[in-house]
Structure 1
């Protein structure tokens, strides 16, 4: 195997492609939320895990505040107090608003910022890109838990690769 010794930096993925990747995951998670009945979304759990609605609230508490924090440099408090009225449609409405917020804040992240060190929510130190990867990875993790719930409820989840 030959190694490339060229020291010229090449872009592996653009900021726009990373956003599209994340939004693909968000679109899939939205479809997973839709797959639940309202009752099961807010009440069903297995093995002491939280209902999926509570996991979704965590994802909402991270997404917009996290990106806003990256853009403004102002520390955001981690706040899961999101009023969804225990209604699936309200939770989806908040999900869609969060998607719009991410799209609005994203272009304000300068390419050189991705390697800056930040402390998300005043606690979690990393780079801008590693924080964004955490936001995405955390969503994938919780969506995996939701897939287990859906299977236990005899509901076919959306194909994970259709983002």
Structure 2
């Protein structure tokens, strides 16, 4: 098994810079949630894609549970069935709470762990850093779908670079 030194891990980007990058994406995703009309947030879809609310449930089911699993070393269930997500206000509250939880768990993640091999959600093998990059990429992917939804509704979405 490969073990990287702290110097090797921080040679391109620090863990705090990676967290800031991710939180920038989360800030932008929050702006997209806010931009949706309530009804369309939960019901609108194009071409068989899920409504944005369903995508946000997925993102909430991945981010904090995924980092918590990495930190604690105990397998988490991927549970997208967030029944309490029934209004945009509730979604935004959960999003803000998960942002704080992410910061808390991240502070417990040592740099040396980033190259460890894990089995995310008991199913997906990769390194800690590749799993985190997947969590971020997945959010960006779903946010792109939300941009299409908003534009098709005649709503100008927030600038993609405004993180």
TM-score (ref. length: structure 2):
0.93
Assess, with a 3 A threshold, how the Cα gap between structure 1 residues 85 and 14 changes in structure 2: closer, same or farther. Answer: closer
Paired residues, number: 156
* Structure 1 residues 143-154: aligned runs within 5 Å: 143-154=143-154
Task: Tell me which residue corresponds to 2:59.
Answer: 59
Task: Tell me which residue corresponds to 2:36.
Answer: 36
* Structure 1 residues 1-163: aligned runs within 5 Å: 9=8, 11-163=11-163
Q: Distance in 1 between matches of 2:107 and 2:87?
A: 32
Q: Which has the larger radius of gyration?
A: 1
Q: Which runs of 5+ in 1 are unaligned?
A: 1-7
Q: How far off its partner does 1:81 sit?
A: 1.8
Moved >2 Å (runs of 4+): none
- Once the two structures are superposed, residues 28-76 of structure 1 have per-residue CA deviations (whole angstroms, 9 ceiling, x without a partner) of 0000000000000000000111000000000000011000000000000
Q: Distance in 2 between matches of 1:102 and 1:131?
A: 14
Q: Distance in 1 between matches of 2:83 and 2:19?
A: 26
Q: Distance in 2 between matches of 1:147 and 1:158?
A: 9
TM-score (ref. length: structure 1):
0.93
| Paired residue secondary structure (2:132) | helix
Q: Distance in 2 between matches of 1:87 and 1:109?
A: 33
Q: Distance in 2 between matches of 1:64 and 1:125?
A: 18
Q: How far off its partner does 1:11 sit?
A: 1.1
